[in-house]
Amino acid sequence: MTNEELWKAVLGEMELSLTRANFTTWFKNTSVLSKDKNAVIVSVPNGFIKEWLENKFNKKILESIRNQSPEIREIRYTIGRPKIELAKHDFSNVILERELESRSNIEVDKDVDKATNLNKKYTFESFIVGSNNELAHAACLAVTKSLGKLYNPLFLYGGVGLGKTHLLQAMGNKLLIEGNPKSILYISAERFTASILEALVHRTIEDLKSKYSQLDLLMIDDIQFIAGKEKTQDIIFSTFNELYGRNKQIVLSSDRPPQAIPALEERLRSRFEGGMIADIGIPDFETRLAILKQKSNEKNYDFDEETLTYIATHIQNNVRELEGALNRVGAFSQIYNRIPDIKEVKNILNTYLSSPYRKTSPQSILKAVADFYSISGSDLIKRSRKKEVVKPRQIAMFLLREETKLSFPEIGQKLGGRDHSTVIHACEKIKSELSVDEPLKQELVLIRERVYNSFEK
């Protein structure tokens, strides 16, 4: 048996016992350099991987090697150049994820208009109407034709990933495309709140208020985030009155109806309920299929009916996930330069549907961070500003944001009732450090590893 064959057999075994992401992280670019009577020398790409294989996988790897060559007693790891690549058929999450990431980064930057926060890709034309969103769609369209006069405010609500942002953006884009000399602003409630806080600090709140009150159309997305934010609610209320009084249009979206938003001032609630409320529900199969076809067209994908039907059948509750699945199949065909057959589609979807982000919980993230830095869970939550806890705390915030669907305010809540602006700051700080700080990057790999740990410690 050649060294190459030996290592392939080992990789084959390791692959079976690990998740795809794990396997790729630790075994990519490894090989057997040489073998003598009782030792094998394994080449690894860097010191970080070396340490990890020595400490965590050595026993398993040795077992596996001894299945092939029982005389081997020892493995030595050395940092060197790779001999063999992973098998070509590998479509691990990690690779697809990279491909997808590199695309979404490009999209985010170039397409969003700085003045209005509108992204041209969201239009009424690209929005598929089904019985689940018919009312919301009609209301949005009607409002663009009669700004400020028909329903004011227009309040859209529905679950995550069902098209609220798309509809809001489509309204703004339609007005822009038609060359309306209108002053339009789309803003998420999170950013709205952040801008108010900033203006309060810099004593420019009056400027900000007057800026908002000069708009013809103000759209605030995910308004549920202002729950409990008194100052924000105050300013929304006065802005609202200004705009309303001058027949200017306000559109709001939320993941729930106004009466279900906790800690919402009564006066605001009744304002929100004073216009038109339209909900968006879960799309039926036909609508899901039509959405997939629309997105395929947009992206020039050329998948057959069977593939699209398979996706539409298996992903039911969330259009964003529907699109995510389609993009994964798209990334596959980009990477391998061919259209996957239905078996491969099933594979891709299986990995997607069981991908780790769906399985983690805020608790396991907090625990993993605390364990990793040898501090207690309560240290993360306490008020202390000691260096040993400040950084872990920021990392915890960053990971909660990346790995769960929690909003900034919810993350602040989880970490001892901190303000969401603190959370935003922490996330941005870690993100920017990650691009220059290699050790930090590796720490995060290790912490994520603990979060999604699939092997014994």
163 binds, among Mg ion, ligand ADP, none (CB under 5 to 8 A by kind): ligand ADP
Position closest to Mg ion via CB = 165
- Residue 294 touching ligand ADP (CB under 6 A): yes
Contact between 231 and 135 (Cβ < 8 Å) = no
Closest CA to 327 of 306, 319, 282: 319
Give the span between the Cα atoms of 378 and 382, in whole angstroms.
Answer: 6
- Residue 224 touching Mg ion (CB under 5 A): no
Among 18, 187, 291, 308, binds ligand ADP (CB under 6 A): 291
The set of residues, in sequence order, having a beta carbon less than 8 Å from that of 249 and lying 6+ positions away, is 143, 147, 148, 152, 153, 154, 216, 217, 218, 243
| Residue 163 labelled as part of a binding site | yes
For Mg ion, give the closer residue by CB, 152 or 165. 165
For Mg ion, give the closer residue by CB, 159 or 377. 159
1-9, 25-33, 123-131, 172-180 -> range binding ligand ADP (CB under 6 A): 123-131
Question: Could you tell me the strand order of the sheet in which 217-221 lies?
Answer: 184-188, 217-221, 249-254, 154-158, 276-280
Q: If binding means CB under 5 A, how many residues of this protein chain bind Mg ion?
A: 2
The set of residues, in sequence order, having a beta carbon less than 8 Å from that of 406 and lying 6+ positions away, is 362, 400, 414
Closest distance of CB 163 from ligand ADP, Å: 3
Q: What are phi and psi of 184, to 5 degrees?
A: -125, 140
Closest CA to 275 of 255, 260, 254, 258: 258
Compute how many other C-beta atoms are within 10 angstroms of the C-beta atom of residue 380.
22
For ligand ADP, give the closer residue by CB, 133 or 355. 133
317 binds, among ligand ADP, Mg ion, none (CB under 5 to 8 A by kind): none
Closest distance of CB 195 from ligand ADP, Å: 20
Among 24, 92, 133, 165, binds Mg ion (CB under 5 A): 165
- Residue 127 touching ligand ADP (CB under 6 A): yes
Contact between 376 and 402 (Cβ < 8 Å) = no
Q: What are phi and psi of 39, to 5 degrees?
A: -135, 150
Binding mask 156-195 for ligand ADP (x = CB under 6 A): --x-xxxxxxx-----------------------------
Closest CA to 317 of 161, 441, 133: 161
| Residue 313 labelled as part of a binding site | no
For Mg ion, give the closer residue by CB, 14 or 278. 278
Q: Would you tell me which residues interact with ligand ADP (CB under 6 A)?
A: 126-128, 133, 158, 160-166, 291, 294, 319-320, 323
Which residues make up each annotated binding site for ATP? 161, 163-165
Q: Would you tell me which residues interact with Mg ion (CB under 5 A)?
A: 164-165
